[in-house]
Structures are given as structure tokens and as C-alpha cells.
Amino acid sequence: MGYRQVALDLTDAEALDLVGEMAQLFARYAELGPGPGRRRRLISHVIVPARDAGAPSPEE
């Protein structure tokens, strides 16, 4: 099991491009299907808008 997280500074258009590219990548591997030596792996991704750097926290 693994966990990866990265913070990226993207425009809305760049974020949409990234999501589209990720979907294409997942689709490419999904087409492989079951086979010898393959094990089903569940890959999940969650996209969360982060507070802008330098912006005050809600508590401030």
C-alpha cells in the first residue's frame, strides 16, 4: 500500500488538463484487464482545493 500527495500551483485550465491526462492514463492501464501475473489494484485520487499560500487561515 502506498500514499502519495503533492501540492501544485495550477490555473483552473491547468487543473482540468491534469485531470484529463490522469483519466487517459488510468484508461490506458484499465484496458489491460486481468491476466497472468496481474493483481487487481485499487487506485483512488481525491482533488481538494487548498488555501492559497499567504492567505489568512479561517481562524485569523
Q: Write the pLDDT tens digit of every residue in 6-23.
A: 889 999 999 999 999 999
pLDDT of residue 11: 92
Which of the two residues, 60 and 16, has the higher pLDDT score?
A: 16
Q: Which amino acid, one-letter code, is at 5?
A: Q
| Of the candidates 28, 59, 60, the residue with the CA atom closest to the CA atom of residue 43 | 28
Cα–Cα distance, 60 to 51 (Å, whole number)? 13
